[in-house]
Amino acid sequence: MIRLVYVSTCAPGLSIDDVYAIMKVSQPWNVQHELSGMLCWSGEFFLQCLEGDRSEVSKIFAKIATDRRHHRVELLIAAPTNVRWFGEWGMGFSQLMASHRLDLPRGRGESFNPYLLEAVDLERTFEQLATFAQRLAID
């Protein structure tokens, strides 16, 4: 199993409805392919963690990386793991609002810029993002 975390910049004009559309496709796909993780959206950036079988993570990441709803896709980590951070979810969704403050050694009190995240801070970042998480009702 591997864990992959990337950051990207939203396409101009991307709305919450566009993000819901992404989640609507992602939920069933990821559950079916035993992928877990979380998509975080700040309005300006995406931060996503994907965990699962190496070939499944690679396959979906190849699609995601060329998706025109975002750009400047940069990997933060891609590493083997035996433990899922998001075992219980297909794909969690966390919307980061201006009022949310992440408590991290770097970037504390500044506006959220996931390009500045370091690998050692990722688990803690996702733990905090999970506290803002919503479960989307997908029909």
Ligand X SMILES: Cc1cc2nc3c(=O)[nH]c(=O)nc-3n(C[C@H](O)[C@H](O)[C@H](O)COP(=O)(O)O)c2cc1C
Residues that bind ligand X (CB under 6 A): 22, 25-26, 29-30, 39, 46, 48, 60, 63-64, 67, 69-70, 91
- Taking the complex as a whole, how short is the minimal distance between the CB of residue 105 and ligand X, in angstroms? 26
Strands annotated E in the chain: 2-10, 36-41, 45-52, 70-80, 92-95, 133-134
Q: What are φ and ψ of residue 30, in 5° steps?
A: -70, -40
Which is closer to ligand X, CB of 36 or CB of 102? Answer: 36
Which is closer to ligand X, CB of 69 or CB of 124? Answer: 69
- Taking the complex as a whole, how short is the minimal distance between the CB of residue 93 and ligand X, in angstroms? 10
Which is closer to ligand X, CB of 11 or CB of 119? Answer: 11
- Taking the complex as a whole, how short is the minimal distance between the CB of residue 108 and ligand X, in angstroms? 26
> In terms of Cα–Cα distance, which of 74, 125, 135 is closest to 100?
125
Which is closer to ligand X, CB of 42 or CB of 48? Answer: 48
> In terms of Cα–Cα distance, which of 19, 46, 40 is closest to 94?
40
CB 44 within 8 A of CB 9: yes
